[in-house]
């Protein structure tokens, strides 16, 4: 699964990593301790992220089957 360009261009000091497994893949975006309380809302194929006072959105990869946010980490699973 490819990381959406808009996630690569996040203005924050976010760390984006991908993990490839035999039958799935995961994109993990760590927004750091300053954004410990992020939230994500999915509308159609668009994910809307709220981190501190910032909001941004991006198109989910077509393979995405689960999107969640916990402890400052956004996780997109295939």
Could you read off the pLDDT of 15-62 as tens digits, one per residue?
889 999 999 999 998 887 767 788 999 999 999 988 777 888 889 999
Domain ranges of the chain: 5-77
Q: Which pTM does this prediction carry?
A: 0.84
Number of Cα atoms under 13 Å in the Cβ half of residue 32:
8
CATH of the domain spanning 5-77, picked from 2.60.40, 3.40.1280, 3.30.530, 3.40.50: 2.60.40
Is the model's pLDDT at 66 over the cut of 80?
yes
Q: Give the per-residue pLDDT at 11.
A: 62
Q: Residue 12: what pLDDT?
A: 62
Three-state secondary structure of 15-62: EEEEEECCCCEEEEEECCHHHCCCEEEEECCEEEEEECCEEEEEECCC
């Amino acid at each position: 699964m490819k990381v959406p360009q808009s996630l690569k261009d996040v203005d924050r000091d976010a760390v984006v990593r991908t993990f490839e497994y035999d039958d799935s893949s995961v994109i993990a975006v760590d927004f750091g301790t300053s954004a410990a309380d992020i939230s994500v809302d999915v509308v159609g194929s668009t994910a809307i992220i709220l981190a501190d006072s910032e909001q941004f959105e991006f198109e989910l990869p077509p393979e995405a089957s689960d999107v969640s946010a916990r402890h400052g980490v956004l996780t997109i699973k295939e």
